[in-house]
Amino acid sequence: MKDETKCLHSGYSPKNSEPRVVPIVQSTTYVYDSTEDVGAVFDEPTKSLIYSRFANPTVMAVESKIADLEGGVGAMCTSSGQAASLLSLLNICGSGDSFISVSQLYGGTINLFSYTLKKLNVECIFVSCDATDEELDAAFKPNTKAVFGETIANPALTVLDIERFAKAAHKRGVPLIVDNTFATPILCKPIDFGADIVVHSTTKYMDGHALQVGGVIVDSGNFDWTAGGFAEFVEPDMSYHGITYTDVYGKSAYIVKARMQLMRDFGTYPSAHSAFLLNLGLETLALRMERYCLNGTAVAKHFEASDKIESLSYPWLERDKYHSLALKYLKGAGGVIAIIVKGGKAGAVRFMDALTLASNEVHVCDIRTCVLHPASATHRQLTDEQLVAAGVDPGMVRFSVGLEHIDDILEDVEQALRKV
Ligand SMILES: *Cc1c(COP(=O)(O)O)cnc(C)c1O
């Protein structure tokens, strides 16, 4: 099936007389005929439902739709994008390990990597997405267990050279994890370019309607965990009656381990109702992404032609530094544009406060046009040095183009620019 069809049909195929729409199974638990049956469920956790902290039929339908869209062997939804990033790494790294991350990242991810994981004695080594092959290779330590980056960075809008980063990671025997939130599998399938694990904040384009906060981890099934350095995958898990994940679950070892160890213990599973809302968004994802790309390009061209704009980043523009990478990896650049308005932060605030259709809010990739000033909001906790590394200018405005009629969006932009 093509993506448009997968968005509608993957993950749920009703049988004779069953509901047409994925039902909301709002139940914490599942009934069995006997004590023996309940016990057996723990031996076959991927075949039967145990409890809705591990899995739930509504959420599972969404998981399998997203796995299908990304081209993975399995997926696990989480209660937020943050939980997805955290668990994707904790499934590989423990105390005393390190991982490499591109520094052009979402602000919440920078905090998680720089401070909270550090408290767990997991070190993040930051490199720029523009690092040369030599610089990247030099960042590895003997205890480095993974490489992490965002397909299109929020809000720097840099484009990750996925093949190059995958090659560097694989040369050192570690997996590449890609946060594909801004591209979605409609614009980029990182697994096709060598990524081993894909994570998302489903809060953004996947949901699209600002209804639920959620995340997902997708396993490509391609990484060989038995080649060395990943003891937890190849040795018996004493917390799960001695299962060896690679022996029992083969290509799905990573995603089953994430569920049976980490979801069991951290409990960041979404509710059935949230998954139902996410699924509604996913049904129109392919259609919406086309229009985001059209509207995004039109607004970016408008900014490009304006004398009130000092600089802008939108990888679909020919003059953008990441245009050639965008052409290689993306089918379009989506609806998010980073601009620097003349007059620095004061100019930015003037422009944002003058907008009437676009809302000022802590969100991005919504169906409605919205704006945010990252340096004082999502990236507020960062030091000046971290802001530069994240690609966030103090005057940057993150403009997230919605699906209103393009004429109305441009009219709002133009009247606000005139007030700068
Ligand atoms: C928003 C975002 C996250 C965090 O997701 P939440 O759902 O808000 O927890 C992670 N990565 C990227 C690229 C994001 O835009």
pLDDT in tens, 264-322: 999 999 999 999 999 999 999 999 999 999 999 999 999 999 999 999 999 999 999 99
- 0.95 cut: is pTM over it? yes
Angle between helices 406-418 and 285-305 (to 10 degrees): 30
Evaluate: CB of 88 within 6 angstroms of ligand 1.
no
Evaluate: CB of 365 within 6 angstroms of ligand 1.
no
Q: Using CA atoms in the order 285, 291, 293, 297, what is the torsion angle rounded to 10 degrees?
A: -160
Q: Is residue 376 predicted with pLDDT exceeding 90?
A: no
Which residue out of 88, 106, 109, 200 has the highest number of ligand 1 atoms within 8 Å of its CB and is therefore the one to mutate?
106
Evaluate: CB of 215 within 6 angstroms of ligand 1.
yes
pLDDT at residue 388 in the model: 86
Instruction: Tell me how far the alpha carbon of residue 357 is from its chain's centroid.
Output: 27
Whole-number Å distance, alpha carbon 274 to ligand 1 midpoint, is 16
End-to-end CA distance of the chain: 48
Overall average pLDDT of the 174-189 stretch = 98
Tokens of 132: 């040369």
Residue that the structure tokens 């990739």 belong to: 365
Which residue out of 82, 104, 105, 370 has the highest number of ligand 1 atoms within 8 Å of its CB and is therefore the one to mutate?
82
Q: By C-alpha distance, which of 112, 106, 410, 45 is closest to 255?
A: 45
pLDDT at residue 377 in the model: 87
Nearest CA to ligand 1 atom 1: 201
C-alpha–C-alpha distance, residues 178 and 169, integer Å: 12
Q: Is residue 260 predicted with pLDDT exceeding 90?
A: yes
pLDDT at residue 192 in the model: 98
Evaluate: CB of 105 within 6 angstroms of ligand 1.
no
CB-side neighbour CA atoms (13 Å) of 375: 22
Q: Which residues contact 328 (CB under 8 A, 6 or more apart)?
A: none
Nearest CA to ligand 1 atom 12: 106
Evaluate: CB of 80 within 6 angstroms of ligand 1.
yes
* Shortest-distance atom of ligand 1 to CA 182: 13
Evaluate: CB of 106 within 6 angstroms of ligand 1.
yes
Evaluate: CB of 81 within 6 angstroms of ligand 1.
yes
Nearest CA to ligand 1 atom 6: 81
Q: How confident is the model at residue 357 (pLDDT cuts 50, 70, 90)?
A: very high
| DSSP symbols for 233-250 | HHS-BGGGTTB-HHHHHG
User: What percent of the chain lies above the pLDDT cut of 70?
Assistant: 100
Evaluate: CB of 297 within 6 angstroms of ligand 1.
no
Evaluate: CB of 150 within 6 angstroms of ligand 1.
yes
